[in-house]
Structure 1
Amino acid sequence: MRNVKVMTGIVSILIGLILVSIPFYHEWKTGKEIDRLTQAVNLISNEASAQVMKEEFEYAKDVIWLEIPDIDLNQMVLPETTEYNLNVGLTQIKPNQIPGEGNFTIAGHRGYRGDRFFRNLPDVAIGATVRLIADNKTYTYEITSSQIIEPTQTDILLDEEGKNEITLITCTVDGHKRIALKGLLIT
């Protein structure tokens, strides 16, 4: 009977260790992909050495950078929302968006830990500055609202005539709702 209890305890500990290690493995794997993508973006700006990486990451040439100084965020925004792209960075929700025109929409996972992705997005205050950098031009937005919405509330992504804004979206901690920040273009 004692041997059964010992074996049950050992198995329980092993299962616990495996379950605890899964997020760390995922974080490590995602970090490697982000490093690889960042390297591709950097190489694309160097014409002589870019060709090999450019073929592998053709979309990397269209990367836009998002800066939110209040939460020390400086990350690339990939041009298309796919499962793979969401696992390695922030993504544009609508295709063919142009910074400074209409409602520029960005999605991102909260991430497991650290400051990657939109983990700290809920901490961005009304009035905070958000910058998009594309083609060596900076577009500055001021956050005007922060709200929790249902995943089905997609009207928040629509363009409003004559209004140039940004919408940043991530999940709530439990994943059932979304946190949406909106900002107006100021420069």
Structure 2
Amino acid sequence: MRNSQSKLIIGIWLLLVGFILILIPFLSEWQSNRDARALEEALSLVADSEQSNIEVNVMGKTMTENELEQVMRLEIPVIDLNQLVLPETTEQNLKVALTQIKKEQVPGEGNFTIAGHRGYRAERHFSRLPEIDKGDTILLHANDKTYKYQVFSTEIIEPTYLEILEDHPFRREITLITCTRGGQERIAVRGTLMNETAALAVGE
């Protein structure tokens, strides 16, 4: 009898552990979606408000108006991507949006680098980055301007190949990086700057 009870208790615990393990990704996704919505609302508040020195609580921390104005937006029409780009790469930021890899980057200058999680949902992060082909358009919206890039290279690289992030003299590029599905390698999409214009409405 005791043996049967022990097996029953162990079985129940295994079911609970399995349920928790299944639940964790959904809870993480819910938290990320909530933070992303809060960030979008904060950006709208800054854009629409006539007040100055606005501070809002986003992702568990206080962000100033100046910090929010540093947030950019990446648009890739061919894969229906429209994601915010945060100025710093941290694990928390990567859960919510795309991030700049190098500090103090300037849009339209050098090699502007952006990282993003692969994600398991088609509309999230860089999940569809592998579908991009040469000639496709990448739009970076920043500082009331839109920077238009044309893809010239898509490749799979090793995580240690950091040279792909370097600037090159007289070249203005963008480099997008995410993991392969297995996570062992990286997918790199590179584009060259075609032109920059006054900011367009997203989707134009």
TM more than 0.5: yes
- Helix, strand or coil at the partner of 2:56: helix
CA deviations on 1:1-34 (whole Å, 9 max, x unpaired) are 4333333332222111111111000000111111
Q: For the Cα contact (< 8 Å) 1:147–1:180, is it kept in 2? A: yes
Q: For the Cα contact (< 8 Å) 1:129–1:143, is it kept in 2? A: yes
CA RMSD of aligned residues (A): 1.8
TM-score w.r.t. the length of structure 1 is 0.92
Of the candidates 33, 56, 80, which is equivalent to residue 62 of structure 2? 56
**Number of the residue aligned with 1:82:** 90
Of the candidates 31, 39, 42, which is equivalent to residue 40 of structure 1? 42
**Alpha-carbon separation, structure 2, partners of 1:21 and 1:113:** 16
Q: For the Cα contact (< 8 Å) 1:145–1:181, is it kept in 2? A: yes
- Helix, strand or coil at the partner of 1:167: strand
- Helix, strand or coil at the partner of 1:45: helix
> Bigger CA drift: 76-85 or 65-74?
76-85
CA apart distance, 1:35: 1.0
**Number of the residue aligned with 2:175:** 167
**Number of the residue aligned with 1:73:** 81
**Alpha-carbon separation, structure 2, partners of 1:106 and 1:65:** 11
- Helix, strand or coil at the partner of 2:82: strand
Is 1:156 matched up with 2:129? no
Report which of the two has the higher share of helix. 1
CA deviations on 1:84-118 (whole Å, 9 max, x unpaired) are 22221111111121211111110111124241111
Of the candidates 4, 12, 15, which is equivalent to residue 14 of structure 2? 12
- Helix, strand or coil at the partner of 1:113: coil
> Bigger CA drift: 6-15 or 133-142?
6-15
- Aligned pair count reads 187
Q: Hey, which bits of structure 1, 4+ residues long, moved more than 4 A?
A: none
**Number of the residue aligned with 1:117:** 125
Q: For the Cα contact (< 8 Å) 1:30–1:87, is it kept in 2? A: yes
Of the candidates 96, 104, 116, which is equivalent to residue 96 of structure 1? 104
CA apart distance, 1:49: 5.5
**Alpha-carbon separation, structure 2, partners of 1:49 and 1:172:** 44
Structure 2: stretches of 5+ with no match in the other structure: 196-204
CA apart distance, 1:72: 0.7
Report which of the two has the higher share of strand. 2
User: Identity over aligned residues, as a percent?
Assistant: 49
